[in-house]
Amino acid sequence: MVFENSDATGGDPTALALKILVAGGFGVGKTTLVGAVSEIRPLRTEELLSEAGQSVDDIGGVGQKITTTVAMDFGRITIRSGLSLYLFGTPGQDRFWFLWDELSTGALGAVVLADTRRLEDCFPAVDYFEHRRIPFVVAVNRFPDARAYEAQDVSRALDLDDGTPVVLCDARDRDSGKEVLIRLVEHAGRVYTARLLESVG
């Protein structure tokens, strides 16, 4: 989604605002990343975890988590003059995946957050974006108690297509999160340019 009107871009009619998704498994840090990088107060739709959800929500490995996103997170960051990103954090639980189709409409690309302690949790997001040909990067959120892996090791473990970037990050750190978003915009630009050249070739 590209916004080109002054209402969406702070008064500059030549500025662009691009829609980016932040996806991944339950408890991987999506809400944290959006909140860390957003220059506005982020919109959050978090609710307390309840006993009613215990039978359908897998909270293995994230036992300290007490809330969950039930619709989306929303934030905004200016990458440079004339370019802003509108961030939409997706819910991580299976029962909310029906929202992904609506959230992904018009998205330039996506960040798939990964936790190496529960790497399998990001497979659904990887499959989703690959099948819909939405460019994405995998951002490995470095939790303090997680074993360290190199980017190429994660890429092999997820069987990513050649050229899909894997970056290491700290979802709590603004500069780290901003670097992930810059890598995504650069990657998406290359992907869409290559597709355009193929279509006219």
- For 98-154, strand residue ranges (E) read 109-114, 136-141
Burial (0-12, 13-18, 19+ Cβ within 10 Å), 174: middle
Interstrand relation of 109-114 and 16-24 (parallel, antiparallel or unpaired): parallel
Closest CA to 27 of 66, 79, 75: 66
Q: What is the pLDDT of residue 130?
A: 96
Predicted confidence at residue 4, as pLDDT, reads: 45
- Beta partners for 24? 113
Please give the pLDDT value at position 60: 54
Domain extents in the chain:
17-49+65-200
- What pTM was computed for the model? 0.81
What local confidence, expressed as pLDDT, does residue 99 receive? 79
pLDDT the model gives residue 53: 46
pLDDT at 57: 47
Residues 6+ apart with CB under 8 A from 33: 22, 89, 111, 113, 139, 141, 169, 171, 177, 180
Query: In a structure prediction context, what are the per-residue pLDDT tens digits for the chain, which is 201 residues long?
Result: 554 444 555 557 668 999 999 999 888 999 999 999 999 998 866 555 445 444 444 555 555 544 554 458 899 999 888 999 999 998 866 666 677 888 899 999 999 999 999 999 999 999 999 999 999 999 999 998 888 899 999 999 999 999 999 999 999 999 999 999 999 999 999 999 999 999 996
Please give the CATH superfamily to which domain 17-49+65-200 belongs.
P-loop containing nucleotide triphosphate hydrolases (3.40.50.300)
